Amino acid sequence: MNKKVFNIIGWILLIGMGASWIVIDYSSWYVLFLPLAYICFSISDGSIKKAKKIRKMSISQVVLILLSFVVSVGIVFGLIQLANYVINDSLHLTGWMKTFSQIIAVILSLYPVKFTFGSVVYKVTSDLNAKRS
């Protein structure tokens, strides 16, 4: 498929999540849609080059990536739930301040996952590149 198509799909997912979050509020489906948007953007910018690298991965590397993905999703979910508790129960925010705080909380909760999951994927891909050379 064309790289622009994946870029458009990624933006549609992000804009759709943002709009539904403002209208409906947080849904657990966002934990699924956000990695899908990340994968779409990775394909569109060329980070995911070929499926041949996946075939060259060992079982332990695949398990490591899957485990780090599960842990990353757990971290995001836990941080979002913690932020939801603080915003709703501790601070009792309402209106635009609550919405703004929730947006900032979701953005900030994604950064630890970006570093943890990204570093594991980077390590595995660098190991694959080192084996190939």
Residue 34's pLDDT is 83
Side-chain-facing half-sphere of 55: CA atoms under 13 Å? 4
Residues 80 and 28 in one domain: no
Residues 120 and 65 in one domain: yes
Residues 38 and 23 in one domain: yes
Residues 84 and 21 in one domain: no
The total number of structural domains in the chain stands at 2
CA gap 61, 116 in Å, rounded: 15
Residues 39 and 62 in one domain: no
Residues 35 and 85 in one domain: no
Residue 38's pLDDT is 85
Residue 115's pLDDT is 85
Residue 20's pLDDT is 86
Residue 111's pLDDT is 87
Contact 73, 35 (CB under 8 A): yes
Residues 31 and 65 in one domain: no
Residues 74 and 119 in one domain: yes
Closest CA to 12 of 31, 40, 32: 40
Provide the residue-wise pLDDT of the chain in tens; the chain has 133 residues: 578 888 899 899 989 888 888 888 777 777 788 888 888 888 888 776 655 566 678 889 888 988 998 898 899 899 999 999 999 999 999 999 999 999 999 889 888 888 888 888 888 888 877 776 6
Residues 36 and 62 in one domain: no
pTM (2 decimals)?
Answer: 0.60
Residues 47 and 81 in one domain: no
DSSP 64-76: HHHHHHHHHHHHH
Residues 12 and 68 in one domain: no
Q: Which domain holds residue 64?
A: 57-132
CA gap 113, 117 in Å, rounded: 6
| DSSP structural state of residue 47 | S
Residue 88's pLDDT is 93
Residue 126's pLDDT is 85
Residues 126 and 101 in one domain: yes
Residue 133's pLDDT is 60
